[in-house]
């Protein structure tokens, strides 16, 4: 049975689809696509059905990652469906946990930056209202976090 990861941000068009596609890229490189499955979602309904942000796609492509997918909203059933849910920032983390009123799934929800070792950020910054540098930075930060997350899963 494959291990299932869900990456979550606010709108599911910048940070979480980047994490999903970066992780899929790393899984392909290591031949692990049948062992670990990734998805992404947003805590809001702002962009349901939208493709990843074009600026994010350009930044990801610079690192060899093609952005695919359509935005969807996080649902309560995701708690059951996924082994690990990774929030891009503390606000997303609180929004996710607010749907788990009994606290049954708290151990499945973590902050993405907990896995970053080359960056000191505790939140993945939202680049949506900024320039190209912000998108490039988020891709670098997510590569850092995804590489370490993958190592931690492999070493479990």
> CA triplet 78, 18, 91: central angle to 5 degrees?
60
Residue of 9, 38, 113, 146 marked active site: 9
Q: Is 83 in the active site?
A: no
Which residues contact residue 104 at a Cβ distance below 8 angstroms, ignoring those fewer than 6 apart?
79
Q: Is 94 in the active site?
A: no
Residue of 39, 78, 126, 136 marked active site: 126
Question: Is the Cβ–Cβ distance between 82 and 90 less than 8 Å?
Answer: no
Residue of 15, 38, 39, 146 marked active site: 15
156 — pLDDT class (breaks 50, 70, 90): confident
What is Dmax (Cα atoms) for the chain? 43
Model pTM? 0.98
pLDDT in tens, 37-86: 999 999 999 999 999 999 999 999 999 999 999 999 999 999 999 999 99
Q: Is 38 in the active site?
A: no
Best CA proximity match to 128, nearest among 25, 7, 17: 17
């Amino acid at each position: 049975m494959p291990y299932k990861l869900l990456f979550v941000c606010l709108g599911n068009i910048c940070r979480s689809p980047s994490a999903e596609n970066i992780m899929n890229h790393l899984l392909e490189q290591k031949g692990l696509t049948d062992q670990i499955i990734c998805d992404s979602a947003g805590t809001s309904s702002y962009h349901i059905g939208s493709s990843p942000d074009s600026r994010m796609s350009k930044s990801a492509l610079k690192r060899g990652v093609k952005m695919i997918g359509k935005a969807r909203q996080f649902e309560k059933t995701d708690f059951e469906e996924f082994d690990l849910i990774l929030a891009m920032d503390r606000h997303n983390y609180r929004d996710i946990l607010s749907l788990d009123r009994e606290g049954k799934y708290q151990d499945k929800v973590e902050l993405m930056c907990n896995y970053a070792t080359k960056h000191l950020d505790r939140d993945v910054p939202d680049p949506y209202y900024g320039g190209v540098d912000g998108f490039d930075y988020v891709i670098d930060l997510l590569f850092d976090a995804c590489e370490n997350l993958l190592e931690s899963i492999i070493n479990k």
